[in-house]
Amino acid sequence: MAEGSLLSAELKLAGRLDARFFALLQGIADTGSINKAARVAGYSYKGAWLVLESASNLAHAPLLLSATGGAGGGGTQLTDAAQALLQCWRQLQRAHDDFLRAQDQWLMQQPALAGTLRRMSMKCSARNQFAGTVSAVDIGPVTAQATITLPGGQEITATLTAAAAQRLKLAPGQEAIALVKASAVVLVADFAGWQLSARNQFAGTVSRIDKGAVSSLVVLTLPGGALITASVTHDAVAALGLAVGQASTAVFKAYSVMLAVRA
The pLDDT tens digits of the residues spanning 194-230 come to 999 999 999 999 999 999 888 999 999 998 888 999 9
The pLDDT tens digits of the residues spanning 150-184 come to 988 899 999 999 999 999 999 999 989 899 999 99
The CATH number that domain 124-180 falls under is: 2.40.50.100
Q: Residue 74: pLDDT above 80?
A: no
Confidence of residue 26 (pLDDT cuts 50, 70, 90): very high
38: Cβ–Cβ under 8 A, 6 or more apart, which residues? Answer: 24, 27, 44, 45, 47, 48
Residue 45, φ and ψ in degrees, nearest 5: -60, -45
- What sign for the dihedral angle of Cα 134, 186, 253, 199? positive
Q: How far does CA 70 lie from the centroid of its chain?
A: 52
- Residue 13: CB atoms within 10 A of its CB come to 13
Tell me, what's the pLDDT at 221? 93
- 3-state secondary structure at position 249: strand
- Rounded to 10 deg, the angle between the 80-108 and 19-31 helix axes is 130
Domain ranges of the chain: 19-108, 124-180, 182-252
The residue-averaged pLDDT of 75-82 equals 90
Q: Residue 72: pLDDT above 50?
A: no
Q: How far does CA 66 lie from the centroid of its chain?
A: 43
Tell me, what's the pLDDT at 83? 93
Q: How far apart are CA 198 and CA 200, in angstroms?
A: 6
Q: Residue 112: pLDDT above 90?
A: no
The residue ranking higher by pLDDT, 71 or 41, is 41
Q: What is the second-level CATH architecture of the domain 19-108?
A: Orthogonal Bundle (1.10)
Give yes or no for a contact between 65 and 78, defined as CB atoms under 8 angstroms apart. yes
124-180 and 182-252 have identical folds: yes
Tell me, what's the pLDDT at 75? 82
**C-alpha distances in Å from residue 117, one per residue of 111, 126, 131, 260:** 10, 18, 12, 15
Instruction: Give the fold, CATH level 3, of 182-252.
Output: OB fold (Dihydrolipoamide Acetyltransferase, E2P) (2.40.50)
Calculate what percentage of the chain has a pLDDT beyond 70. 90
